[in-house]
Amino acid sequence: MTEIATKPTGEPVIRTIAMPADTNPNGDIFGGWLMAQMDLAGGSAARRRAGGRVATVAVDSMAFHHPVKVGDEVSIYATILGVGRTSIRIFIEAWRRGRDEAMNKVTSATFVMVAIGDDGRPRPVPPA
């Protein structure tokens, strides 16, 4: 499927460089590494909104539209879509920029994060 988004949406949360340690034996960047960056970004945005600890409870389906290569700049953007009683839905986009300055959207997903207390159980998200 062709990805036609031309610019990121949401708040920039993480910017990093894809490194050789993040590759599979073929030298391509692992999809799992990118998913971890997205989970970190979603957790960071959710933690701020929830005023404390959160846990990822669900992620919707993901498709990868463009490869990430070693040396690419990878940026993760987050948009809070909605807040429930204890949960926060966050749309996360991952973009890459190569040395030629070309930017491509790599993937996106909606993460559901739950605010949890010290006991690891859900707690209400405070008012904004």
Ligand X SMILES: CC(C)(COP(=O)(O)OP(=O)(O)OC[C@H]1O[C@@H](n2cnc3c(N)ncnc32)[C@H](O)[C@@H]1OP(=O)(O)O)[C@@H](O)C(=O)NCCC(=O)NCCS
Which part of the chain contacts ligand X (CB under 6 A), choosing from 23-31, 63-71, 103-111, 115-123?
115-123
What's the min distance (Å) between Cβ of 113 and ligand X?
8
Indicate whether 114 belongs to the interface with ligand X (CB under 6 A).
yes
Choose the stretch contacting ligand X; rule: CB under 6 A; options: 5-13, 43-51, 82-90, 103-111: 82-90
Contacts 24+ apart (CB under 8 A), 30-33: 31/64
How is residue 124 annotated by DSSP?
P
Q: Is 87 in the site for ligand X (CB under 6 A)?
A: yes
Among the listed residues 55, 63, 81, 102, the single contact to ligand X using CB under 6 A? 55
The footprint of ligand X (CB under 6 A) covers: 55-58, 84-87, 112, 114, 116, 120-122
